[in-house]
Structure 1
Amino acid sequence: MDQLSKTIDWLFSLEARGEIYKLERMDAALDLIGNPHRKLRAVHIAGTKGKGSVAAILDSCLRAAGYRTGLYTKPHLVRLSERTRIAGAEIPAAQLLDYIERLRAIYERAGLALTFFEFTVAMMLLYFADAGVDVAVIETGLGGRLDSTNVVTPILSVITPIGFDHIEYLGHTIGAIAGEKGGIIKDDVPVVIGAREPDARLVLTSIAANRHSAVRLIERDFSYRSQSPAHRFDYHGLGLDLFDLEIGLAGPFQHENGAIAVAALEALRAQGWNIDEDSIRRGLRDIYWPGRFDIVSRNPTVILDCAHNEMSIAALLETMTAEFGAVKPRLIFGCLSDKDWPKMAAMLGPRVRDVTLTKVKPKRPLEPENLLPYFSAHAPARVEREPMAAVERVMSEIRADDVVLITGSVYLIGEVYPYFLARDGRKGLFPEADV
């Protein structure tokens, strides 16, 4: 095993420490490395659904406008370095090794035992600050108020749609969850709100009012009209009316994410950022965001989608209908034990031809046998416990005109993606940064 592999294994071993939601620890960790977060101009994004897509769209449009961006998203699919990108490219392997080893030495000398997420956030902030990016687009991990990324004071906050997920940490009502997500709203920093639920809107706008944060609210200050399934939408905002915007992501739900991102770009334009209409159009058209209704094969058609809760499964099914009509795909499914898997099975089961159930390897996997009766009520179902064996088995059985859908967990998509990358002669999803 080479040094990079051993060092990354050490970093992942920190997951055994669990998660600790105390920003004082992040403050201490960042103070030890010169407070890099204070050197960044950041856009900070929270929400239940779509925050990764909104982050990726913003990054794409800002790069199209000529800005050198940093982008931080989680989790990764294939390689850890995907989480931390500059100008669309992953942190190079040599630099990743250097940053991990340097920070490990600093924190071990100080006796500061960071969690995995705390460590990766500190590393990301230092990497972006060292590189002198023009703007950093940063996605929260879980929640917002006590999320490790919430040490930044951004130039803009963005809240995407709110729904039920991680209720054991965030609360059992939409209002409570919105309160946690709204914790990223800072004093006198504008916020774009893409939440539609009345309780979420009330909580988020109240937080913004208390913090004197100017609000751009979906359906009040900006709106969109979908042209599904044409991958196009119209946008109407406070200062921009853009028609026939082409978006390089499938699904009507991505039109909403696109509109939230354009509203954020409008807010940045109001602050003096030079983002013209052509940059917005090119950024939307050229967006690349793997694992989101990601068609990785044609003839047969294979779709990878990271849907992992009821909101994202509903969006996935809407996209399937928009893109393929009444077709019933062959489903490969695996999920985590802390999800509402009976409801996910009830949503997916009637819409598929048959199901191969598998076990997601990392983090709280659900035994596929538990899923069997829930899916069997709707379609023929079987168990193939190893994800790669499940993919190989289904791929060996299908015809050129079949459709295969693989979904249920980000971790499942990450496990099977290398199979499809290898078919194209690729090792990773993004190139390494040239820095």
Structure 2
Amino acid sequence: MSEASVPDARYRWATGYLRALIQAPPGPPPGTPPEIVRLRAQRRLERLRDFLAYLGNPHRVYPVIHITGTSGKGSTAAFIANILHVAGYRTGLHTSPYLQVETEKLQIAGQLIAPERFAEEVAILDQAVRSWIARGGQPLTYGEFWTALVFQTLRSERVDVAVIEVSVGGRFDLTNVVLPEVAVITTVGLDHVRTLGPTIRDIAWHKAGIIKPGRPAITGVTDPELLAIIAAEADAVGASLTVVREGSDYWVTSTGLGTTLTDLRTGHTFPIGLLGSYQARNAALAIAAIRTFADRIGGRIDDETIARGLVTTRFPGRFEIIQETPLVILDGAHNPQKMAALLEALDALSVQGRRLALFGVLEGHDALTMATMLAKSVDMVVLTTPRAFLRTAADPVELAAACQAQGTHAVTVDDPAEALALVLEMAQPNDLIVVTGSLYLVGHVREHWYPSSLIVTQRTCWPIRRSIAIQGAESACRQQHGSV
């Protein structure tokens, strides 16, 4: 497969079809009253439930592990899915959002769904929607179609278990039509306040909404005020709640970026594949979820299997070292809680040179706070404008001013690709570059190392990119011997 390989026309049709469904920004306009926000969300959920019933309720065919949280939900979902995959389960994984390509949101048995299968499922669901509308049903929004597509495809792929990551919040998220075997709430912090806020207590209430009657829930939230909200929800619906705490349930040992977790229940030590000491909490939650799930289905997943799953987990754009000289790290820290974790992980690195940052974030996040935090920890910041359809980015000029107020040199470059080129050009071999903020920004610059076309066709976020030398040797071979 050559580097020029591109997905076929059917796949391009499918992605174009999906993008054409985007008619408005995903969140409400600023100033929308909370009751209007909730009413809109409830109507979307009702419409999706009706359409899923028309499809035969595909989301009820397989057991589900449902994960939400302000930070760590994606990594926790990746840990859980990989452990189940290593244990021999045909596992479906849905994460949101995607970084570069749509098929990232639908992973089957450790691989991105094949592009031709993706196109086939979009076409099947398109016909179902047409039939549904002809019978008096309402058209689906982008999010509703996508969620139905996930559940339908997982049924078609005959998965043994589905790991489903919430998009935003929980209670009114479109994935919250499932009745999970286990619900996981990683953390609660201030983010998406326009949709979930305005207070952190409101956000905790939204997260707690994925807890279902009689189904166990697991959380890493330990703040007494926020934990009380989650516990009250569990009590109200008759669900057990397990709180996973560092110090009483597990210990963390870090050496540089390497992290191991010791389970105080069994004494087993687990090396963690994802970098950053904060991943220990996500791994601990994954272990608790796996054990609870195994108990519920009458199975057994031993510590050796869990260990293999944790150490081999990969997740793009989350403290991802993508280049070594100069050292380049991609991390989608798009709220203050994530930014604090990123900066702590950076402090564990032994870097002889400067710290250079490329930063951009969308409106609706606490951009000024994050820019200020970042500026205090780096030597220079390049501010840019993430590209997202019908989404507005935070003003890079305003963010640059916040950085300069901390005494940190800052420049603005509107185009993300040009901003990346600038920071790479400025860096010396012993410098560190961190690209952070919006996941849309991380996905955009990741194209420099991993082109989307290869991700789709090779069905992995880490495709093999053949060197120019190999391509040149092949060209010479063709000239000498003809086509090979």
- 1:92 is aligned to 114
SS at match of 1:61: helix
- 1:393 is aligned to 422
- 1:380 is aligned to 409
The offset of 1:389, in angstroms, is 0.8
- 2:30 is aligned to none
> Which range moved further: 79-88 or 319-328?
319-328
The offset of 1:143, in angstroms, is 1.0
Q: 1:43 to 1:221 in 2, by over 3 A?
A: farther
Return the alpha-carbon distance in structure 2 between the equivalents of residues 264 and 221 of structure 1: 18
Stretches of 4+ aligned residues off by more than 6 angstroms? none
Name the aligned partner's letter for residue 19 of structure 2.
F
Question: Mapping of 1:26-45 within 5 angstroms?
Answer: 26-45=48-67
Name the aligned partner's letter for residue 374 of structure 1.
A
Question: Mapping of 1:4-403 within 5 angstroms?
Answer: 4-19=11-26, 20-22=40-42, 23-111=45-133, 112-219=138-245, 223-229=249-255, 230-237=258-265, 240-243=266-269, 245-271=270-296, 272-324=298-350, 328-362=354-388, 363-377=391-405, 378-403=407-432
SS at match of 1:225: strand
For residues 1-53 of structure 1, give each alpha carbon's deviation from its aligned partner in whole angstroms, at most 9, with x where no partner exists.
93432331231122224445231111112122221011010001111110000
Return the alpha-carbon distance in structure 2 between the equivalents of residues 200 and 324 of structure 1: 36
- Contact 1:78–1:429 (Cα < 8 Å) also in 2: no
The offset of 1:396, in angstroms, is 2.0
The offset of 1:431, in angstroms, is 4.2
Return the alpha-carbon distance in structure 2 between the equivalents of residues 289 and 331 of structure 1: 21
Return the alpha-carbon distance in structure 1 between the equivalents of residues 353 and 248 of structure 2: 34
- Contact 2:97–2:105 (Cα < 8 Å) also in 1: yes
Return the alpha-carbon distance in structure 2 between the equivalents of residues 429 and 310 of structure 1: 32
- Contact 1:89–1:431 (Cα < 8 Å) also in 2: no
> Which range moved further: 285-294 or 364-373?
364-373
- Contact 1:48–1:161 (Cα < 8 Å) also in 2: yes
Q: 1:213 to 1:257 in 2, by over 3 A?
A: same
In the comparison of the two structures, how many residue pairs are matched? 428
Return the alpha-carbon distance in structure 1 between the equivalents of residues 63 and 267 of structure 2: 27
CA RMSD in angstroms, aligned pairs only: 2.0
- Contact 2:250–2:261 (Cα < 8 Å) also in 1: yes
1:418 counterpart = 2:418 = no
Name the aligned partner's letter for residue 7 of structure 1.
A
Which one has the largest radius of gyration? 2
Return the alpha-carbon distance in structure 2 between the equivalents of residues 122 and 62 of structure 1: 23
State the TM-score, normalizing by the size of structure 1: 0.94
Q: 1:326 to 1:151 in 2, by over 3 A?
A: farther
Q: 1:430 to 1:232 in 2, by over 3 A?
A: farther
Return the alpha-carbon distance in structure 2 between the equivalents of residues 196 and 325 of structure 1: 33
Return the alpha-carbon distance in structure 2 between the equivalents of residues 355 and 257 of structure 1: 29
Return the alpha-carbon distance in structure 2 between the equivalents of residues 402 and 161 of structure 1: 32
Q: 1:52 to 1:389 in 2, by over 3 A?
A: same
- 2:454 is aligned to 427
Q: Identity over aligned residues, as a percent?
A: 34
State the TM-score, normalizing by the size of structure 2: 0.84
Gaps of 5+ in 1: none
The offset of 1:106, in angstroms, is 2.0
